[in-house]
Structure 1
Amino acid sequence: MTVQDPNVVATSGAESAAADSPRAGQLRLDVRTAGDGVTVLAVSGEVDMLTAPQLRASALRHLDDGRTLVLDLSGVSFLGSAGLAVLVEASQHAKRRGAAFRVVAVERAVTRPLVATGLDEVFSVFESVDQALEADESR
């Protein structure tokens, strides 16, 4: 029996074509600056109990670095309770730091748990990164 580590991405062969998109149990984080003190953290893959610590570390670090964090979850295919806990912690961390925290959620895999838990009313949730950035400019 062969067991493959889900965190290892193939670098050659048939599986290498899929290396740009995260597989089950993997998370991809892409960071970009979108203006003075504004960071966009684009998340792709599944946010579950295995990957939530990676998201938590990155989100909190970027909240410490800037005034605004836009967490783009449009590439997330699963958002579990551990991921929801990260969002709550990031929101609280932002408030303590006087930073802005915005969430971009368009996929049902993300919007459904946000609505079911009522967190869509707690966070500033937007349908696109552009909308989240415009909201920051209008402050």
Structure 2
Amino acid sequence: MTVQDPNVAEANRDEQAIGLAVSNPAQDVTVVSVSGEVDMVSAPALRAGVTANLVDGGKLVLDLTGVSFLGSAGLAVLVEAAQQSRSRAIAFSVVAADRAVTRPIAATGLGEVFDVHPTLDEAIG
């Protein structure tokens, strides 16, 4: 059995945290910009950030241009966001330009589930 120092475990969790920034560049448009690695450790923070910014009748743009890794847990959050958006009449789109994000989206066919744009301006426009 391995015993891990709680201080080391806490430091590892901090290293795997993602950055979330919320902005409103236009009326009824909310942009959640994400940075870091979206994996099973950080996906709950992404889920919370997305859920908190679903505004009925508006538009939610998830900007993943700062994401360096998108794992299956992150993809699951995207699917949930698309489903919640649809049920609440919210337009939902994703900004993805880096291969670390576009490849898993394309490989899973999720580009057919929600709109994917290469730039934030196109997603907002």
C-alpha separation in 2, matches of 1:104 and 1:43: 10
Alignment match of 1:92 (pick from 47, 65, 83): 83
Matched to 1:111, the amino acid is T
SS of structure 1 residue aligned to 2:52: helix
TM-score scaled by structure 2? 0.89
TM-score scaled by structure 1? 0.80
Distance change >3 Å, CA 65–CA 50, structure 1 → 2? farther
C-alpha separation in 2, matches of 1:7 and 1:81: 18
Q: Is the 8 A contact 2:29 2:59 kept in 1?
A: yes
Residue 64 of structure 1 and its aligned partner are, at CA, apart by 3.4
Alignment match of 2:27 (pick from 10, 23, 36): 36
**2:86 equivalent to 1:80:** no
Matched to 2:12, the amino acid is P
C-alpha separation in 2, matches of 1:114 and 1:103: 10
**2:112 equivalent to 1:106:** no
C-alpha separation in 2, matches of 1:85 and 1:45: 17
Residue 66 of structure 1 and its aligned partner are, at CA, apart by 6.0
Name the % identity. 55
SS of structure 1 residue aligned to 2:40: coil
Structure 2, unmatched stretches of 5+, are: none
Q: How does 1:5-44 map to 2 (within 5 A)?
A: 5-8=11-14, 23=15, 25-44=16-35
SS of structure 1 residue aligned to 2:60: strand
SS of structure 2 residue aligned to 1:49: coil
Which one has more relative contact order, counting CA pairs under 8 Å at least 6 apart?
Answer: 2
Runs ≥4 residues deviating over 3 A: none
Q: Is the 8 A contact 2:56 2:88 kept in 1?
A: no
Q: Is the 8 A contact 2:56 2:89 kept in 1?
A: no
Residue 121 of structure 1 and its aligned partner are, at CA, apart by 1.7
The superposition leaves residues 84-120 of structure 1 with CA deviations (integer Å, 9 ceiling, x where unpaired) of 0000000000001100101000010100000100001
Q: Is the 8 A contact 1:103 1:126 kept in 2?
A: yes
The superposition leaves residues 58-84 of structure 1 with CA deviations (integer Å, 9 ceiling, x where unpaired) of 101101366111100000000000000
C-alpha separation in 2, matches of 1:129 and 1:7: 29
Residue 36 of structure 1 and its aligned partner are, at CA, apart by 1.2
